[in-house]
A = this chain, B = another copy of it.
Amino acid sequence: MSSTEPGKREIIMNASIKVFAAKGYHSCRTLDISKEAGVAYGSLYQYFKSKDDILLSIYRDNWNFLLQRMDKLNNLDVSPASRIIQIVDFIFANYDHNPDLIKVMITEVPKLSQFYDQENQELYYRFFTGLAGIIAEGQKKDLLNKEISPIIAAFVIYGAADNTIRQYVFNPDFERLHFPLEAAKNQIIKFFIPSYLEPIKKKNA
């Protein structure tokens, strides 16, 4: 096998994303997953502890990927505001690149009670503390509005992006009928984030 050939674990995860997105987590059977993946029924349990574990693995991999992206940005010499915009941009790009994955992240992962376990919530929360850290850094450098709470701002910014994408997930026709996803992203990047984060003094300049 070449090193680029996906391993069975990855094959199973991708097949799961496809069937979870198509039929929903509870409506699909482990048999559906094994068929889609082209592996034997029992083989799923060689790579995952349980059906839940597959979905949680999808969540963890994807969320860690987002955290890594944030880490990389933090190591670049880029302004805090620009980093935040790039994170939002990345979130939208993720949806564009693999809508099934985001659909699963938004609609299926929260169905798992384990998602609300401390461990998984800590991982989830790590994104918000990271985002808040960037904002706090910007405030310290007098680049961002010091009156806003960094952690609340992190909730607000992610909530805005997530809820916007959510509408496209729920209503796949929305884009075609009303508003291109790219335009929605630009709305958030151009009008919402700058006005919200920029220092008040700027207004009075």
Contact = CB atoms under 8 A, between A and B. Distances in A.
Contacts of A149: 179, 183-184, 187
A95 interface: no
Interface string A134-161: 0000000000010111011101111111
A155 B158 CA distance: 12
Contact of A110 (B107, B125, B202): B107
Interface residues of A, number: 47
Contact of A196 (B170, B192, B202): B192
A161 B159 CA distance: 8
A158 B167 CA distance: 12
A179 B159 CA distance: 18
A178 interface: yes
Contacts of A151: 178-179
Contacts of A113: 24, 26-27
Contact of A121 (B155, B162, B171): B171
Interface in A4-20: none
A192 B27 contact: no
Interface in A94-138: 107, 110-111, 113, 116, 121, 124-125, 128
B171 A152 contact: no
A133 to B, nearest CB: 14
A163 B156 CA distance: 7
10 contacts: A26-B113, A110-B111, A148-B192, A156-B164, A156-B188, A156-B192, A157-B160, A159-B161, A160-B160, A195-B203
Interface of A: 24, 26-27, 107, 110-111, 113, 116, 121, 124-125, 128, 145, 147-149, 151-153, 155-164, 166-167, 170-171, 178-179, 183-184, 187-188, 190-192, 195-196, 198, 202-203
Give the 6 A-B residue pairs with the shortest CB-CB distance, closest first: A159-B163, A156-B160, A159-B159, A155-B164, A152-B187, A195-B195
